Amino acid sequence: MTQEYFIKDENKLSNNISDLPENKNVILLSAIYSGEDQKVLLKFYDPDLEVIYFWKDRTNHKPYCYTKIEYKEKAEEIIKKEPKYNILPTKKNDLISDKEIDVIKIVAPDPLSIGGTDNSIREKITAWEADIKYHENYLYDNALIPGTYYYRKNDNIYQYKYEIDPKIRNKLYELIDNNNLDLLDTKTINYNYYISQWVNLLNQPIPDLKRIAIDIEVESEEGRIPHPRDHDKTVTAIGLAGSDGFRKVYVLNKDSNEKNAFISEAEVVETEKELILAAFKDIKNYPIIITFNGDDFDLPYLYMRAQDPRIDPLNKEIIKKEDIPIVVKRDTFIKRGMQAEPVNLKHGIHIDLFRTFQNRSIQIYAFNHKYAEYTLNAISESLLNDHKIEFEGDISDLPIHKLAEYCLKDADLTLGLSTFNDNLLMKLLIVISRISHLPIDDVSRFGVNQWIRGMLYFEHRQNNFLIPRRDELISKGVSSTTAIIKEKKYRGGLVVEPKLGIHFNVVVVDFASLYPSIIKVHNLSYETVNCSHLSCKNDPEQQIPETTHWICKRRRGLTSLLIGSLRDLRVRYYKQLSKDKTTTTDYRQLYEVISQAIKVILNASYGVMGAEIFPLYCLPVADATAAIGRVTTTRTIEKCKQIGIEVIYGDTDSLFLKNPSSAKVKEISEWARTQLEVDLEIDKTYRYVVFSDLKKNYLGVLEDGTVDVKGLTGKKSHTPPFIRKAFYKILEILKEVNSEKDFQKAKENIKKIIRIYANDLETGKIHPSELSFNVMVNKSPDRYGEKTNNSKVKSIDGKNIDFITYKGLPQHIKAAMLLHQSGREIKAGDIISYVKTKTNDGVKPVDLLRNINEIDTEKYLEAMESTFDQLLSALNYNFQSILGKDRQSNLDELFWSKK
DNA sequence: GCGGACTGCTTACCT
DNA sequence: ACAGGTAAGCAGTCCGCG
C-alpha cells in the first residue's frame, strides 16, 4: 500500500508527487478550495489502487460574480479604488425577463473578495451569483460532475465516457413514451436532450470506495460531556474498522496489573501520544474515513488533543500539525465552542454519517423511516439488527479490555452503516452526487434543498442563464390561495372525508409522482409561472385554476424539463430495469439505487419551491403545483362518480375505490392518462378497510392478511406500551376477519382483550414501564415556555422592548425538568418516558416513580378509551342495530355489559 | 367560583 | 434545515351565570 498520496505540508494541499497519473481512469469525488494556493483542489479516486489523488486547478479560473448594466458606474468606481477586481462586459440570458441582457462580470483574486467579509463586493453592489461557494462555481463552469470518471492528459482533465450497454440504451426507445426520441447529444435544450444526458450520467458503474471507520473514547466525569474546546480529558481508546476487513483498537494502559484477556484486535499502548499516532498511521492508509459525529467530536477532539502536551507526560512533546492527517478549517471556532464545521482529511475525504442519517430525506425516502432516533445505537438496531455493547455504570470505570471491545464495536457499527445492503449508502451518495453535481462529502452533509440547488445551478451555467436573485423571485408574486392551517403560506393537498364504517374489497389507486408529473405536464418553473409575456398572461388557456397565476406557453421551463425527465426515467425506465430479469443482479441493483436516488430528489422537488431556505424559492410555483394537484384529484373523483365508482376516501394523490370492477378501474386510469396526462395506478387492494370519521386515520387488511394501520393512536410511538400491546392484539383478531359475519365473533374477542387489560390496570398488575408515555423533546429544553408577546412594553429607560411571557409547560417537559433536577442531562432529540400521576403536576418520570399507588388509573382508562374508540366507533356503526341501544362511550358499554 | 368554548402549543402522524 | 393537512392532549383565557 503506497502512501505517496499523503501530503506533508502543514494544512496545505498542493500538487506534488501525489499528482494524478496520466491516462488513468479515476472518479471525481470532491472539490475544495485551498486558501494557501488560492485554487480549487479536485479529489479523484482511483478504483484500482484505492487512493485519492489531488489535482490543483491549472486553468487559472478565478472567483467572480455579476452585476447588471445599470450598476456599471458603481462597479467602475469600486475597481478604481480596489484594483484587485477586474470587470468584463458579457452577455447572459435572463430568464425572468426572457431576454438576453448585457451584464458585467466582476472577477476577484479570491472568494472572500466576492463574499464572506464585510468588505466583499456583494456588500457594495447589487450582485448576482455572489453567494455560490467557489468550489461549486469551479465545478459548474468546467462541467465537472462528481461521481463520474475522468482522466488526465498533460495539464488537462478530460471526461471519460463509459460506453453504455446498447441493449440497456435501446430500452429507452421501448420505455420512454416519445416517438422521435433523439438519443444523440444535441445542443438543443429539450426533453430528449435531458433524457439522454441523465442516462449517460447515471448508468456509469459505481466503484467500491475503500474506507475506514474511526471512533474514539475519552475519559469523562459524570454529567459532563468532553468538548474539543477544552481537550482536557484523556483519549483512552481509538477503534478502527476498515472496509477491507482491517480491525484494530488501541487502548491506553491505565492499570498495568490487569490480567484479563484482550480481544486479538486490541493493542495496549503506554502513552496517549503513542495511541493517537498509531491511529493516525492507520488512517493514512485509507482514502475515505467514516465517523459517527466526527465533525463535532471525534476528529476535532483528536486534532486539538494531539497538540496538547498532556498526551506525553514525560517529554511534554506534542504532535506537530504536519503529522496530523486532520484539517480543521478554523480552530478558533472550536476554541469558542461554536458548532464545528465539516472536518476534512489532508489525504482524502471524511464522511460523517451522523449528518447523513439526520437528513430527513435519507431517513424517510431512502430508509423508509426504519429508524426514529439519530443515535448510533438506535440506527444500528433498526438497520443492522445490531447494537452497541451494553455495560453497567460509568464508561470511565470499565476495565480496559472491556473498553477495547466497546470501542471497536462502535467502529464496527459505524462502518456497518456504510456497508450494509451491499454498500447502499455509499452508492446512494455517489448517485446523488451525480444528480446534484455536488461533491460527495457535501452531499453527505447537505439537505435536499442544496442537492436540488446544485442540480439547477449547474444547468443554469451550462445554458448561460443568469441565476436570479432572491428579490427577483419574490417579486414574481405571492400565493393566491389561503392555507387551512394558520401560519402556512398557501393551500396544500386535498383530503376527502372518509365514509365511516367497514368497506370490503377496496382498491387504492394513486397518481404516480403526482407533483413532479404536474411540474412536467404544466410546464412549471420559476421563469414560466407568471412569466413576463402579456400574451401568456391574457390567455385564458394559460390560467391556473383556483389561483391568479398563469403559465408561459412560449418556452419550456428549466425546472419542468429537469424534474420531468427525471420522473419519466424513474417511472418508465429505471423502475422497470431494476426488475428486468434479463440483466445481471449487479445491474439490477445499480438501477434500484438510481431509482431510489431519483425518488428522493423528486419527492422534494415541489416542497423546496415553497421553502424559504431554497435559493430559487418561488411561492407561485408551489402554490400552482398544489392547486393543479387538487384539481386533478377533484376531477378524477367526479369522473369516478360519473362512471359509477364509489370513492370512499382520498388523500392528496390517492383515492380509495369501493368494490370497483377491474374494467372500471382501467377506464378511470385511461381517462386520467389521456385527459389529465398523469398515471393513475393501482397501489394495493384491501380485503376490507375500517374508517372512523377521522381523516388520515384508518385500518386496512390486505388480501394476504397484512394489516395496514394509518394514524391511529394505538400505533403512535408516544402511546404507553401496554395500550399499544392491547391494540396490536386487537389487530391480530381483525386479521382473521373475512366477511361481515366474522365481525360478530371478532367483536366478542376484542371485548375480552379490552376487559383483561382494563382489569390488569385497575388491579395494579401492569408494570410502570408499560405505562409510560414516551415523548420527544424537539428543541433545546430551555426554549420551552418562552413566547414572545406582540405587545411592546416600555421599559424604565423609555425604550420599547419585547415583552416575554412564560406559559405553562407541556407534560413531557415537566417530567424532563424533574429528571434534570435528579442529575440527568436533557437535550433536544431525547425521548422522555413519564407516567401520569395523581400527585404533583400529574406527571413523573418513570425512572423516578417509587410508589405505584401514585399512578392515576383514571387517566389511563381515558387513554384506553380514546385509543380504542377510534376502532370501535367504526365497528359499532355496523353492529349498532344488533346491540339495539344507544351507546355512551364504546368502552363504557363494554364495562356495562361486563356487570 | 366553575365549567364549557375557545385558542395556542406541542407532538406524531399522512400524503 | 422540502411542503401542507389532520388528530390529540394539555394549558391557559374568556365568558356567562341571579
State if pTM tops 0.95: no
Residue A470 CA to C7 C1' — how many Å?
36
Q: β-pairing, A344-345 with A326-327? A: antiparallel
**What does the pLDDT read at residue A834?**
92
The integer distance in angstroms from the CA atom of A252 to the C1' atom of B6 is 63
Protein A854 CA to nucleic acid C15 C1', in Å?
A: 35
- pLDDT band at residue A899, thresholds of 50, 70 and 90? very low
**Average pLDDT score over residue span A568-581:** 90
pLDDT at A838: 83
Task: Give the Cα separation of A414 and A240 in Å (integer).
Answer: 10
The nucleotide minimizing the C1' distance to residue A719's CA is B12
Return the pLDDT at A814: 86
Hits for CB < 7 Å against strand C across A residues 439-498 = 447-449, 483-485, 488-493, 495
What is the Cα gyration radius of chain A?
31
**Nucleic strand C contacts from chain A, 868-887, CB < 7 Å:** 870
Least confident of A452-456, A667-671, A788-792: A788-792
- Higher pLDDT pick, A457 / A11: A457
A864 CA to C16 C1' in angstroms comes to 34
- Measured distance CA(A864)–CA(A342) in Å, rounded: 47
- Supply φ then ψ for residue A463, to 5 degrees: -105, 10
Positions 813-832 of A with beta carbon below 7 A from strand B are: 831
Contacts of A15 (CB under 8 A, 6+ apart): A54, A55, A56
Contact between the CB of A749 and strand C at under 7 Å: no
Closest residue, by C-alpha, to the C1' of B15: A652
Strand B contact with A484 (CB < 7 A) = no
Report how far residue A378's alpha carbon sits from residue A351's, in angstroms, rounded to the nearest whole number: 19
A708, closest nucleotide (Cα–C1'): B14
Spanning CA of A812 to C1' of C16, the rounded length in angstroms is 34
For chain C, which bases have at least one atom within 7 A of a protein Cβ?
1-12
Q: How far is the CA of A666 from the C1' of C15 (A)?
A: 57
pLDDT of A47 strictly over 50? yes
Average pLDDT, integer, range A167-171: 80
Average pLDDT over residues A306-323: 93
Which pLDDT score, from 0 to 100, does residue A298 have?
A: 96
CB-strand contact A695/B, under 7 Å? no
Angle of the A558-568 helix axis to the A514-521 helix axis, nearest 10 = 130
Residue A377 and residue A389: Cα distance in Å, rounded?
A: 9
* pLDDT, position A558: 95
Statement: the CB of A488 is under 7 Å from strand B: no
pLDDT at residue A223 is higher than 70: no
Cα–Cα distances (Å) from A845 to A422, A779, A853, in that order, read 42, 19, 15
Give the confidence band of A189 by pLDDT, cuts at 50, 70, 90: low
CA gap A833, A768 in Å, rounded: 10
**A833 CA – C15 C1', rounded, Å:** 37
Residues 629-658 of A with CB under 7 A from strand C: 652
Q: How confident is the model at residue A564 (pLDDT cuts 50, 70, 90)?
A: very high
Share of chain A above pLDDT 70, in %: 89
Which nucleotide's C1' is closest to A813 (Cα)? B10
Report the side by side order of strands in the sheet with A156-159. Answer: A51-56, A39-46, A26-34, A149-153, A156-159
Span A115-124, average pLDDT: 93
Three-state secondary structure of A829-877: CCEEEEEEECCCCCEEEHHHCCCHHHECHHHHHHHHHHHHHHHHHHHHH
A196 Cβ contact partners less than 8 Å away, ≥ 6 residues apart: A182, A183, A184, A185, A186
Q: Label each residue of A270-316 as H, E or C.
A: CCHHHHHHHHHHHHCCCCEEEECCHHHHHHHHHHHHHCCHHHCCCCC
Task: Estimate in Å the CA A786 to C1' C12 gap, whole number.
Answer: 14
pLDDT at A351: 97
Q: Given this model, what pLDDT does residue A10 score?
A: 34
Q: Give the residue carrying C-alpha cell 395494579.
A: A764
Determine the Cα–Cα distance for residues A794 and A798; give it in Å rounded to an integer. 5
The spacing between the Cα labelled CA in A30 and the C1' in C13, in angstroms, equals 57
* pLDDT mean over A808-812: 85
**Tally of CA atoms within 13 A in the half-sphere of A628 that contains its CB:** 29
Which grid cell is A721?
406500551
Using the structure, give the distance in angstroms from the CA atom of A288 to the C1' atom of C7, rounded to a whole number.
46
What mean pLDDT comes out for the span A17-23? 74
Q: Which nucleotides of B are covered by protein (CB under 7 A)?
A: 8-15
Buried b / exposed e across A92-112, counting CB within 10 Å, b at 16+? bebbbeeeeeebbbbbbeebe
Residue A367 reports pLDDT greater than 90: no
The mean pLDDT of A236-243, rounded to a whole number, is 97
The stretch A703-707 carries a mean pLDDT of: 91
CB A217 within 8 A of CB A407: yes
A709 touches strand B (CB under 7 A): yes
In sequence order, what are the residues at sequence separation of 6 or more whose Cβ sits closer than 8 angstroms to the Cβ of residue A758? A861, A864, A891, A895
Q: Is the CB of A808 under 7 A from strand C?
A: yes
| Mean per-residue pLDDT, A732-752 | 83
Mean pLDDT of all residues in A474-500: 92
Protein-to-nucleotide distance from the CA of A790 to the C1' of B4, whole angstroms:
28
Task: Tell me what pLDDT residue A12 has.
Answer: 37
Q: Indicate the pLDDT class of residue A716, thresholds 50, 70 and 90.
A: very high
* Placement of cell 439547477 in the chain: A456
Upper half-sphere CA count for residue A772 (Cβ side, 13 Å): 19
| Average pLDDT value for residue range A615-624 | 97
Tell whether the model's pLDDT for residue A42 goes beyond 80: yes
Give the helix ranges, DSSP H, for A370-467.
Answer: 376-383, 400-436, 440-445, 448-462
CB A509 within 8 A of CB A668: yes
| A711 CB contact with strand B at below 7 Å | yes
H-type helices in A610-720, by residue range?
Answer: 619-643, 662-671
DSSP letter for A21, please.
Answer: P
Q: What pLDDT shows up at residue A149?
A: 97
Average pLDDT, chain A: 87
Q: Any atom of strand C under 7 A from CB of A610?
A: yes
Crossing angle of helices A619-643 and A585-609, rounded to 10°: 110
Cα separation, A9 vs A34, in Å, equals: 13
Predicted local confidence at residue A618, as pLDDT: 97
Reduced DSSP (H G I as helix, E B as strand, rest coil) percent helix, strand, coil of chain A, to 5: 40, 20, 40
Comparing A71-75, A345-349, A822-826, the range with the smallest average pLDDT is A822-826
Please list, in sequence order, all residues whose beta carbon lies within 8 angstroms of the beta carbon of residue A498, skipping any fewer than 6 positions away.
A648, A649, A656, A691, A692, A693, A694, A695, A697, A698
Which of A34-38, A669-673, A763-767 shows the lowest mean pLDDT across its residues?
Answer: A763-767
- What grid cell was written down for A782? 430551555
| Least trusted range by pLDDT, from A465-474, A483-492, A841-850 | A841-850
Residue A777, strand partner residues: none
Closest residue, by C-alpha, to the C1' of B7: A486
Q: Are β-strands A51-56 and A39-46 bridged in parallel, bridged antiparallel, or unpaired?
A: antiparallel
Q: Cβ within 7 Å of strand C: which of A 841-860?
A: 841-842, 859
**Which residue's C-alpha is at the least distance from the C1' of B14?**
A696
Confidence grade of residue A774 (pLDDT, cut at 50, 70, 90): very high
| C-alpha distances out from residue A859 to A215, A864, A894, Å | 45, 9, 18
Distance CA A252, CA A257 (A): 13
Residues 104-143 of chain A with CB under 7 A from strand B are: none
